[in-house]
Amino acid sequence: MPDPFDLVISGGLIVDESGERLADVVIRDGHIVALGAGLSADRRLEAAGCVVSPGFVDLHSHLRQPGMEEAETIESGSRAAALGGYTAVVAMPNTTPAIDDAGMVREVQALARTALCDIEVAGAITVGRAGEQLVPMAEMASLGVKIFTDDGTGVQDALLMRRALEYAGGLGLTLAQHCEVSALSAGTCMHEGEWSSRLGLAGQPSEAEELMVMRDIALSRLTGTRVHFQHLSTAGSVAMVAAAKAGGLPITAEAAPHHFTLTDECCSGYDAVYKVHPPLRSASDRQAIRMGLASDAIDAIATDHAPHLAHLKDLPFDQAPPGMLGLEYAFALAVTELGLDLSEVLAKLSWRPARIAGIAAVHGGPIEVGRPANLCVVDRNQTWEIDASGGASRSSNVPYVGRRVTGRVRHTVFRGEAVVIDSHPMR
Amino acid sequence: MKDLLDIAPLGRAGIETLLDLTDHFVEVNARTIRKVPALRGRTIVSLFYEDSTRTRLSFETAAKRLGADVMTFSVSSSSVAKGESLRDTVKTIDAFGVDAFVVRHSSAGAPHMVARWTDASVVNGGDGWHAHPTQALLDAYTIRSRRGRLDGCRIAIVGDVLHSRVARSNVEAFGLLGAEITLVAPPTLLPPAVSTWPVRVAHHIDHVLDDIDVCYLLRMQLERQAQGLVPSLREYTSCFGLTADRHRRLGPEALVMHPGPLNRGVEISQEAADAPNSVITQQVAHGVSVRMAVLFRLLGSGQQIEAVSEDL
Amino acid sequence: MAERERRGNPPYGGSFVARTRVMNREDLIRAIRRMAHEIIERNQGLADVVLIGLQTGGVAIAGQVADDLADIEGSEVPLGKLDVAFYRDDIGIRPVLPEEVTDIPFDIDNRTVVLVDDVLYTGRTIRAALDALGDYGRPRSVQLAVVVDRGHRELPIRPDYVGKNLPTRRDELVDVHADGVDLGEIVK
């Protein structure tokens, strides 16, 4: 007699927000239907020696569609995400054209139907990301958009940002900010410091980011509205965010794997794979990011996955576009570089970002009967070497080639379907 | 040694080898027949993405006097607009079969990228604000030929250090050779982390004039005023220019140097430029010999050998 | 010549170990003196004769020859030194770096140039020297004086004045120095 259940994840240690326990997880029709010992189903995912976690949620990925499909599509990006253990990704709106109206939201949502994970569409704050006029937030929110950001640039005008915060606050929406004062960063291509001086490259000081962090903390206090800070990169930013939170303000923040792994010294060979905005900073900034993740000043790890065509990254450093891949490496880098308990790592990758993205009902939640089956199975002890292929991404701008890391995603289950088995995508 | 991209990897010994080698080529250049067949049959390409007739001619003369064949690829703005990437250009030229590229580019790091894409030798002819190693070598050679060793020599580099590849390479080269360096510039024209460099800093030329053996002036460009880095060129000259009066105060023993081209009346006065202690024309003359030494070192001194004895 | 060869042949580096002393100091002084007489005899005096020593080994020898010529004939012969590094046929194949700067402070047009070297071996160094001389002028004739001819010529070059003919094996090396001439080999 055939088993009435679809899929069982056997032998793993469940780790979620409520704690840890050894149990098999049985899944049917996209939901968790049973937890216990020695359970069976039609198909079996081996998880002995591994940890079963809620699927990861990336607050910050560039999926490049529409406009730069050669570098990445929503489908190829989602495949990379699934391989990285992600069951949901927030897609950034700096596509061509930008996601600044309902029509664009619908277009991206349609493209996302065949994806290997949930694609949450983020809207721009201003039309065309030009920093002048607000987008129709309510209309876009009615389609499910919960986060708005002009990512790629920050909103430069303080009055406009104030109005945007007030308006979004009235709708219960979250504004996220790429903090960069363009007056201080224009024409620069790396962090201003010892290395930029030696290399003869124009650099932006930490203050280019910190001044906007300072401003938006003040505007959050003024308007009483939530602000989420994207890809924090400096020690000063972390300190200000920690103080703001301690003062009770509704501030959240994320950091990218490259900012807790690499420093500006990587630019010394002029390889543009290390060019990114905000730039790789000094060793003490990197340490502050790590400490910020350890202390919860920073709530989440977000990849800022940014694919670029190879010939563009082959341009001289000052001309090349900024950005690095990250979806397939975030878990491994977090395990290897942060020195945190696994449950803390999973919190930063899964349930905290799920809450910030407003999708905690479906992603990141405790592994219990009745909940949607968005899970990943990870081996925290497996070591592997990151290669130059770029994984499932269409692009290959990986700044970690040759690096040996510990921690690998073995399986990913999305809406009950095993989309990744033994680190291979199933479609 | 496959490439010359920066000064630092040479170390003191490497710099001195090149300066000693330059002596030989000075002798060749003093002859009637200023040619040796050392690099006969080799092909050297000058890949100049930035306009610089002087430097390009200096390299090409050096190559020809070594008996090599020279190809020139100097990019006018229209061919850049046609969009062929640097990489495609290098790969195409490589396919002709070349032995060395001399690269000048407005982007720092461009020669380093060229070196990744070709097995031919690459000489950095100047990349953005970053480096100009052959200029530093000819400057060091000029000082050495007038004053002997550079150990303990007190050198002031005056001007827009922030944007100067000549200054960066000179700081490295003179430093490795044991000189004491003072950078003289307003804070807006100094690199942000200059406090970590092995140099002293002064913000007015009068503070150093009495204590230096070499006054090295950098060209002050008009656009720095437009960028808000100095209030006006007039103010720059009043604080940093080597005027006739200051030149007199400098004394006849000190050397006056400049990488060219000069902005007479801005960073340097006519009197200073023409004075007997100005070695600006010698710098240019030594440039050909130094570049011959560099090309010979890269292409002629047996880099294919795996095990090379230590006295080489 | 031994020095140049040591650097240019595998195993590169290493050190020279002498096995036999084939000429002692007195032998060397006498041989050089004899060659000086031969130069005077062959050229019927020293008019328009110039000496050029080849780097490195030939320079000191040329100096000795010049001293002997001055002693015998009472006239100073113009003396120069030549580094042939830039004219070698093995540039880019072997490590090549010149040693002391060439210094030929006189005109060689229509003169009799006597090239002086310590050891004559394959003849390639002399070939390079002839090319180099061509870039300095047009001598009336070029003659060659060597302390030791060790055989194994690879080019049609022959010496006019020889201190000693010494048959050698290819793996041996000849070292001419102030106290005489040694035959030995490189040991790494």
Domain count, chain A: 2
ipTM: 0.90
* Closest CA in chain C for residue B299: C92
| B299, B303, B309: residue with CB nearest C13 | B309
Q: How many contacts, defined by CB atoms under 8 Å, are there between A and B?
A: 63
Q: Which residue range forms the structural domain that includes residue A382?
A: 7-51+370-425
For residue B305, what pLDDT band results from cuts at 50, 70 and 90?
Answer: very low
Q: Which residue range forms the structural domain that includes residue C102?
A: 26-171
Tell me: do A319 and A202 sit in the same domain: yes
Provide the pairing of β-strand A86-91 with A118-121: parallel
CATH code: domain of residue C131:
3.40.50.2020
> Rounded to 5 degrees, what are φ and ψ at A191?
-75, 140
Q: How far is CA A55 from CA A338, B8, C92, in A?
A: 20, 49, 60
Question: What pTM value is reported for the model?
Answer: 0.89
Whether residue C82 is contained in a domain is answered as yes
Residues A101-107 have a mean pLDDT of 96
pLDDT at B221 over 80: yes
| B87, B108, B113: residue with CB nearest A201 | B108
- Judge whether B301 is closer than 8 Å to chain C, CB to CB: yes
| Euclidean distance between CA atoms C123 and C131, whole angstroms | 13
Whether residue C18 is contained in a domain is answered as no
Q: Quickly count helices (H) and strands (E) in chain B.
A: 12, 9
Whether residue A183 is contained in a domain is answered as yes
- Would the CB atoms of B304 and C93 count as touching at under 8 Å? yes
Whether residue A1 is contained in a domain is answered as no
Residue whose structure tokens are 């006597």: C114
| A197, A203, A316: residue with CB nearest B113 | A316
For residue B84, what pLDDT band results from cuts at 50, 70 and 90?
Answer: confident
Residue at A161: amino acid letter: M
Contact (Cβ atoms closer than 8 angstroms) between residue A76 and residue A114: no
| Three-class secondary structure of residue B253 per DSSP | coil
Cβ neighbours of B86 in A, within 8 Å? 315-316
Contacts of A266 (CB under 8 A, 6+ apart): A274, A280, A399
| Three-class secondary structure of residue A141 per DSSP | helix
Tell me: do A86 and A229 sit in the same domain: yes
| Euclidean distance between CA atoms A250 and A223, whole angstroms | 11
User: Is A in contact with C (3 or more beta carbon pairs below 8 Å)?
Assistant: no
Tell me: do A216 and A289 sit in the same domain: yes
The whole-chain average pLDDT of chain A stands at 96
Active site residue A304: yes
Model confidence over A199-238: pLDDT tens digits? 999 999 999 999 999 999 999 999 999 999 999 999 999 9
Whether residue C186 is contained in a domain is answered as no
| Three-class secondary structure of residue A142 per DSSP | helix
Tell me: do A375 and A409 sit in the same domain: yes
**Best of B64, B309, B310 to disrupt the C interface by mutation (most C CBs within 10 Å)?**
B309
Model confidence over C143-166: pLDDT tens digits? 999 999 999 999 999 999 999 999
Residue at B196: amino acid letter: T
Residue whose structure tokens are 């505007």: A219
Domain count, chain C: 1
Whether residue A403 is contained in a domain is answered as yes
| Euclidean distance between CA atoms A416 and A7, whole angstroms | 8
Please name the helix (run of DSSP H) or strand (run of DSSP E) that holds residue C46, with its range, or none.
Answer: none
Please name the helix (run of DSSP H) or strand (run of DSSP E) that holds residue A279, with its range, or none.
Answer: none
pLDDT at C69 over 70: yes
Q: Tell me what pLDDT residue A1 has.
A: 45
The four Cα atoms A197, B213, B273, B294 give a dihedral, to 10 degrees, of -60
Of A53, A23, A3, which is closest to residue A410 (Cα–Cα)? A53
Whether residue C7 is contained in a domain is answered as no
The whole-chain average pLDDT of chain B stands at 92
| C13, C87, C92: residue with CB nearest B299 | C92
Tokens of B105: 């580019």
Whether residue C66 is contained in a domain is answered as yes
* Closest CA in chain B for residue A199: B130
| CB burial of residue A143 (10 Å; 0-12, 13-18, 19+) | middle
CATH code: domain of residue A27:
2.30.40.10
Shortest CA gap C15–chain B (Å): 11
Whether residue A2 is contained in a domain is answered as no
Cβ neighbours of A319 in B, within 8 Å? 107
**Best of B6, B104, B130 to disrupt the A interface by mutation (most A CBs within 10 Å)?**
B130
Tell me: do A46 and A161 sit in the same domain: no
Residue at B299: amino acid letter: L
Cβ neighbours of B170 in A, within 8 Å? none
| Euclidean distance between CA atoms A403 and A386, whole angstroms | 6
Peptide bond into A97 cis (omega under 30): yes
| B105, B130, B194: residue with CB nearest A199 | B130
**Best of B298, B301, B310 to disrupt the C interface by mutation (most C CBs within 10 Å)?**
B301
**Best of C3, C6, C91, C94 to disrupt the B interface by mutation (most B CBs within 10 Å)?**
C91
Give the strands of the sheet with A24-28, arranged side by side: A31-36, A24-28, A7-10, A43-46
Cβ neighbours of B128 in A, within 8 Å? 200-201, 318
Q: Quickly count helices (H) and strands (E) in chain C.
A: 4, 8
Residues B262-268 have a mean pLDDT of 92
- Would the CB atoms of B17 and C97 count as touching at under 8 Å? yes
| Euclidean distance between CA atoms A382 and A332, whole angstroms | 9
Tell me: do A254 and A397 sit in the same domain: no
- Would the CB atoms of C13 and B301 count as touching at under 8 Å? no
Residues C162-188 have a mean pLDDT of 91
Q: How many contacts, defined by CB atoms under 8 Å, are there between B and C?
A: 73
| Three-class secondary structure of residue A123 per DSSP | strand
Q: Tell me what pLDDT residue B79 has.
A: 57
| Euclidean distance between CA atoms B133 and B167, whole angstroms | 10
Cβ neighbours of C108 in B, within 8 Å? none
Contact (Cβ atoms closer than 8 angstroms) between residue A347 and residue A17: yes
Tell me: do A197 and A162 sit in the same domain: yes
Whether residue C33 is contained in a domain is answered as yes
Distance of CA A189 to the CA centre of its chain: 22
| Euclidean distance between CA atoms C137 and B31, whole angstroms | 10
* Closest CA in chain B for residue C188: B309
- Judge whether B307 is closer than 8 Å to chain C, CB to CB: yes
Of B296, B55, B18, B28, which is closest to residue B144 (Cα–Cα)? B18
Residues B124-130 have a mean pLDDT of 97
Taking only Cα atoms into account, the Rg of chain C, rounded to an integer number of angstroms, comes to 16
Please name the helix (run of DSSP H) or strand (run of DSSP E) that holds residue B33, with its range, or none.
Answer: none
| Euclidean distance between CA atoms A157 and A314, whole angstroms | 34
pLDDT at C93 over 80: no
Q: Tell me what pLDDT residue A365 has.
A: 87
Contacts of A80 (CB under 8 A, 6+ apart): A305, A325, A327, A328, A391, A392, A393
| B108, B113, B194: residue with CB nearest A199 | B108
- Would the CB atoms of C12 and B307 count as touching at under 8 Å? yes
Residues A370-390 have a mean pLDDT of 95
User: Is B in contact with A (3 or more beta carbon pairs below 8 Å)?
Assistant: yes
| Euclidean distance between CA atoms C174 and B59, whole angstroms | 41
| Three-class secondary structure of residue A399 per DSSP | coil
- Would the CB atoms of B130 and A269 count as touching at under 8 Å? no
| Euclidean distance between CA atoms A57 and A85, whole angstroms | 9
Shortest CA gap B309–chain A (Å): 29
pLDDT at B311 over 70: no
Out of 3.30.1300.10, 1.20.1050.10, 1.10.10.60, 3.40.50.1370, the CATH code matching B133-283 is 3.40.50.1370
pLDDT at C3 over 70: no
Cβ neighbours of B38 in C, within 8 Å? 85-87, 91
- Topology of domain B8-132+284-299, per CATH? Rossmann fold (3.40.50)
Whether residue A238 is contained in a domain is answered as yes
What are the structural domain ranges in chain B? 8-132+284-299, 133-283
Cβ neighbours of B110 in A, within 8 Å? 270, 316
Q: Tell me what pLDDT residue B75 has.
A: 76
Q: Tell me what pLDDT residue B292 has.
A: 97
Q: Tell me what pLDDT residue B215 has.
A: 97
Whether residue C4 is contained in a domain is answered as no
Tell me: do A168 and A209 sit in the same domain: yes
Whether residue C96 is contained in a domain is answered as yes
- Would the CB atoms of B300 and C92 count as touching at under 8 Å? yes
Among A216, A304, A314, A422, the active-site one is: A304
> Rounded to 5 degrees, what are φ and ψ at C13?
75, -145
Tell me: do A324 and A342 sit in the same domain: yes
